[in-house]
Chains A and B, each alone.
Chain A
Amino acid sequence: MKVLVAVKRVVDANVKVRVKADGSGVDLANVKMSINPFDEIAVEEAVRLKEQGVASEVVAVSCGPAACQETLRTAMAIGADRGVLIETDAALEPLAVAKLLKALIDKEAPQLVVLGKQAIDDDCNQTGQMLAALTARAQATFASKVEIVDGKARVTREIDGGLETLQLALPAIVTTDLRLNEPRYATLPNIMKAKKKPLDTTTPTQLGVDVAPRLTTLKTAEPAGRAAGVKVSDVATLVAKLKNEAKVI
């Protein structure tokens, strides 16, 4: 069974982004970029399926500029067998990414596609669901457990109020939540090995996909800040303030 994993290059989760003074976006110059954490979980899950003998090959794909090669090498250092870069400098909306991934799936024919549930830059939480719709496949989002049993995927999902388990016909699309697994640290030998793994490059044009953005971003602003609060000396003062000043208790 072939497994395809989609990985996005995003600003590292530990970087506090700054909004540009002219409101045109966030300042991405010289900030550390990493693999989207949810996508890292997706790669780990696919590699574990291979280690269990369920998956035969793990293919990582990334859409974006040439620098996404680094993201693909990270995925290959975790254990993906090869990488595909769909190279473009255009800003990609989730619908465009879903169309690119569909075009690649039409060629690669994976039985399972695993993606992160959302990217931590645009926080859209759309691509996996859109891909499932475009390919007319079953979906299980926000997965906390994935098993392949009798030719079907059995996926436990994190939902409001608890957990839900679904059974999906394959091929299927799964998006990962935080507690699906804890990705391994790539070892130095595996990082070296990843440099030699095959990495193919294609483009939206070659895949016949129009990636022009639909939305217009009018401005990007800092969120409204909170006024600085006060420190209270003891519990009695805290209770008095909550009762008399804030009047919320």
Chain B
Amino acid sequence: MTAGKPILVVADHDHVSIKSATLNTVTAARQCGDEVHVLVAGHNAAGAAVAAARVEGVAKVLHADGAALADALAENLAAQVLAVAPGYGHILFAATSTGKNVAPRVAALLDVTQVSEITRVVSADTFERPIYAGNAIQTVQSPEAVKVITARMTGFDAAAAQGGAAQVESVAAVADSGLSAFVERAVTKNERPELADARIVVSGGRALGSSEKFNAVLTPLADKLGAALGASRAAVDAGFAPNDWQVGQTGKIVAPQVYFACGISGAIQHLAGMKDSKVIVAINKDAEAPIFSVADFGLEADLFEAVPELVATL
């Protein structure tokens, strides 16, 4: 039995602070057991370790610091998790691009199966997870001695970022595997809230017609609402919006307070990424668009007229 063993959360961070998805993962971890530890593996990452120690409900922070951990390379980060893994009954990652990249590597090295993208902890060994793009919810039970899990952010509330006072313990950092090397990173400059945890998301589809129109029509609405911008796969594939704006089964999964779907038909793959939003607003001139079947408020109108009018009215 793993009951009683501490739970390890592998933090997603930028060395200075921890990513908000880690807060949701801490909540998932606390539902698996009482004692939650957080591993901050990075380079000059004391800031992130201190931030992790302040998260409510965290009992201890393990801080591994070394040059090999500067870029979250899967080989090195997995080795670091393995180095501290003994004694833990659960190892949780946020289902971010970093967590999804590393968690299966850890699971395979421990010879355990992984439970991906859980949305609910039923008990310490039983979890709910969506399959078939969210068209079915599976409840699975894992008998593994160590449960390696990725937690979907939208399934769990964020733990309070302040209020904790965990001790930070330094652990030895692993050496570089030599297998892969970081070359460069091109991060989209973004003054807006992060898509994954924005309170309001304004999303556009293929109906926008071009990158110029996408920006000209949707940016004023997003500015007015302080919203993040998102896009359907069709809009991203057509080059109207950058790929990390994609909302859907294979893109970002979002659950904001309000989701504005503008000119988005509502393909299954897109719905899978946003149907847990609190309020969905659909603006589409096609009365038959499937998006209307999930929208709380549907406006059958030409978005090129309705969106500017909306900006003026708000």
User: Which residue numbers of A lie inside 8 Å of B, CB to CB?
Assistant: 11, 13, 16-17, 19, 26, 38, 93-95, 98, 117-118, 120-134, 136-142, 144, 154, 157-169, 172, 177-179, 213-223, 226, 228-232, 234-236, 238-239, 241-242, 246, 248-249
Tell me which of B109, B143, B243, B268 contacts A133 (CB under 8 A). B109
Q: Is B113 an interface residue (CB 8 A)?
A: yes
B283, closest chain A residue (CB) = A238
Q: Is the interface of A mostly helix, strand, loop or mixed?
A: mixed
State whether A166 touches B180 (Cβ < 8 A): yes
B196: chain A residues at CB < 8 Å are: 160
Question: Digit string of B179-194 for contact with A (CB within 8 Å is 1, else 0)?
Answer: 1111111111010001
Given A26-B132, A133-B104, A158-B243, the answer on whether A248 and B278 have CB atoms closer than 8 Å is yes
Chain B, interface residues (CB within 8 Å), range: 35 or more
A98: chain B residues at CB < 8 Å are: 108
Query: What's the nearest-Cβ distance from chain B to residue A221, in Å?
Result: 5
A229: chain B residues at CB < 8 Å are: 280, 292, 294-298
A230, closest chain B residue (CB) = B297
Q: Is B207 an interface residue (CB 8 A)?
A: no
- 4 A-B pairs closest in CB distance: A129-B104, A138-B179, A130-B108, A133-B108
CA distance A49 to B167 in the complex (A): 51
Stretch among B56-64, B72-80, B212-220 lining the A interface: B72-80
Given A232-B299, A238-B297, the answer on whether A216 and B185 have CB atoms closer than 8 Å is no
B142: chain A residues at CB < 8 Å are: 214-215
State whether B116 touches A125 (Cβ < 8 A): yes
User: Which residue numbers of B lie inside 8 Å of A, CB to CB?
Assistant: 71, 73-75, 78, 96-98, 100-109, 111-117, 126, 130-144, 177-188, 190, 194, 196, 200, 225, 233, 236-237, 242-244, 249-250, 252, 257-258, 268-269, 275, 278-281, 292-301, 306, 309-310, 313-314
Q: Is the interface of B mostly helix, strand, loop or mixed?
A: mixed
Among A13, A130, A161, A234, the one with the most B-chain Cβ atoms within 10 Å of its Cβ is A161
State whether A17 touches B132 (Cβ < 8 A): yes
Given A13-B269, A215-B113, A231-B299, output 4 extra A-B contacts at Cβ < 8 Å. Answer: A17-B135, A123-B131, A218-B141, A231-B297
B252: chain A residues at CB < 8 Å are: 160
B268: chain A residues at CB < 8 Å are: 16
Tell me which of A157, A158, A172, A241 contacts B297 (CB under 8 A). A241
Among A133, A169, A239, A242, the one with the most B-chain Cβ atoms within 10 Å of its Cβ is A133
CA distance A241 to B310 in the complex (A): 13
State whether A235 touches B309 (Cβ < 8 A): yes
State whether A162 touches B185 (Cβ < 8 A): yes
Given A142-B101, A144-B243, A215-B142, the answer on whether A162 and B188 have CB atoms closer than 8 Å is yes
State whether B138 touches A129 (Cβ < 8 A): no
State whether B279 touches A248 (Cβ < 8 A): yes
CA distance A37 to B229 in the complex (A): 26
